[in-house]
């Protein structure tokens, strides 16, 4: 049971980091886009 739980939490942690990276990338794209429209 603990082995299953550990693999589950590891997968969840990996998905969370991927989600954080994608959100950060999207925000940086928006910031770059807003700067580009200013200049």
1-39 tens-digit pLDDT: 677 777 778 888 888 888 898 999 999 988 888 887 776
Long-range contact set of residues 13-22: C-beta below 8 Å, sequence gap at least 24: none
For the stretch 20-29, pLDDT in tens is 989 999 999 8
Is pTM beyond 0.75? Reply is no
The two tokens of residue 16 are 């969370």
Q: Distance between CA atoms of 11 and 34, rounded to whole angstroms?
A: 35
Dihedral sign of CA atoms 24, 26, 31, 36 in order: positive
């Amino acid at each position: 049971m603990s082995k299953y739980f550990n693999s589950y939490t590891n997968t969840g942690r990996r998905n969370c980091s991927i989600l954080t990276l994608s959100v950060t990338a999207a925000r940086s794209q928006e910031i770059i886009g807003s700067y580009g429209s200013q200049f």
